[in-house]
């Protein structure tokens, strides 16, 4: 019983211990070794949440940021899945389009931010579009890789049994794409968040990106670390949601 308990809960306890040690080191360093203009201890950050979110502008910025991130991520997943399926559908599509995808992916996207502002304006649309432009490429690349891993014998067998193209896609291709798709989704979530924050740094006067820049320029590390904690919590929450969705759609693999 004890061994089973250690086997089940050992990794959780190790994670909790690692986080506790990290927070303790941070607390000691911030209180006695680091200039308070550059870092705040975790205890001060926790205490600062009430003061920070008493400002309705900051609370509104967090809400709008989460909405923009969710919409941008959804667009990136849907568009990336569709494009990835189209690119990986045939060898001709792969040879024709995939090099273009890699070329676009290699362009530093922050350099084309002015184009997004020109096309979508200074509102939420430009932030959503810029965030989605970051997230779409990991989805495409992983979906194409997943398409390459689909065994042709499975497709041929389904076709000989009378399956239509949609049935083959739904029953054969998509289930085998699940691992690659969710790897792409996890990567896309992180870079989509980065894209939305970058857009807010340059084109917004109310978003989280704007307030992080403002607090850093004011040497206000407590509020800055509060916002960074919020960003980390959003990222962790979305990552956990993605993990649970992966487990749900991968149940057939353990049958």
> Per the structure block, which two tokens stand in for 50?
């009430």
Q: Which CATH superfamily is domain 50-250 in?
A: MetI-like (1.10.3720.10)
Please give the mean pLDDT across all residues of the chain.
81
For the chain, the domains span: 50-250
Query: Structure tokens of 132?
Result: 């989605």
**Beta strand residue intervals within the chain, DSSP E:** none
What's the pTM?
0.80
Question: Which residues lie closer than 8 Å to 11 by C-beta, 6 or more apart?
Answer: none
Residue 255 has pLDDT above 60, yes or no: no
Return the H-helix or E-strand segment holding 37.
none
Q: What is the mean pLDDT of residues 209-213?
A: 81
List pLDDT tens digits, range 131-176.
999 999 999 999 988 887 777 777 777 777 777 777 777 677 777 7
pLDDT at 5 over 50: no
Is residue 228 exposed (0-12), middle (13-18) or buried (19+ Cβ within 10 Å)? middle
Q: Is the pLDDT of residue 79 over 90?
A: yes
Whether the predicted pLDDT of 49 surpasses 70: yes
Compute the average pLDDT of residues 220-242: 84
- DSSP string computed for 197-251: HHHHHHH-SSSHHHHHHHHHHTT-HHHHHHHHHHHHHHHHHHHHHHHHHHHHHTG
Q: Is the pLDDT of residue 4 over 70?
A: no
Q: Give pLDDT tens digits for 102-114.
A: 888 888 887 888 8
């Amino acid at each position: 019983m004890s061994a089973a308990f250690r086997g089940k809960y050992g990794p959780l306890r190790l994670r909790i211990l690692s986080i506790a040690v990290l927070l303790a080191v941070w607390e000691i360093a911030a209180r006695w070794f680091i200039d308070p203009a550059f870092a705040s201890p975790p205890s001060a950050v926790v205490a600062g949440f009430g003061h920070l979110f008493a400002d309705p502008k900051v609370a509104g910025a967090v809400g709008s940021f989460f909405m923009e991130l969710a919409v941008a991520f959804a667009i990136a997943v849907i568009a990336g899945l569709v494009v990835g399926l189209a690119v990986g559908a045939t060898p001709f599509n792969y040879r024709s389009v995939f090099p273009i995808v890699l070329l676009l992916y290699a362009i530093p996207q922050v350099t084309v931010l002015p184009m997004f502002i020109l096309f979508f304006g200074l509102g939420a649309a430009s932030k959503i579009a810029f965030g989605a432009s970051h997230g779409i490429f990991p989805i495409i690349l992983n979906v194409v890789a997943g398409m390459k891993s689909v065994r042709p014998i499975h497709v041929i067998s389904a076709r000989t049994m009378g399956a239509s193209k949609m049935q083959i896609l739904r029953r054969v291709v998509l289930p085998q794409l699940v691992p690659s798709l969710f790897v792409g989704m996890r990567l896309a979530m992180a870079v989509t968040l980065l894209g939305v924050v970058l857009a807010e740094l340059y084109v917004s006067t109310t978003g989280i990106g704007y307030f992080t820049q403002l607090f850093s320029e004011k040497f206000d590390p407590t509020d800055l670390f509060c916002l960074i904690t919020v960003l980390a919590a959003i990222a962790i929450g979305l990552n956990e949601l993605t993990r649970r969705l992966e487990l749900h759609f991968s149940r057939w693999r353990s049958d």
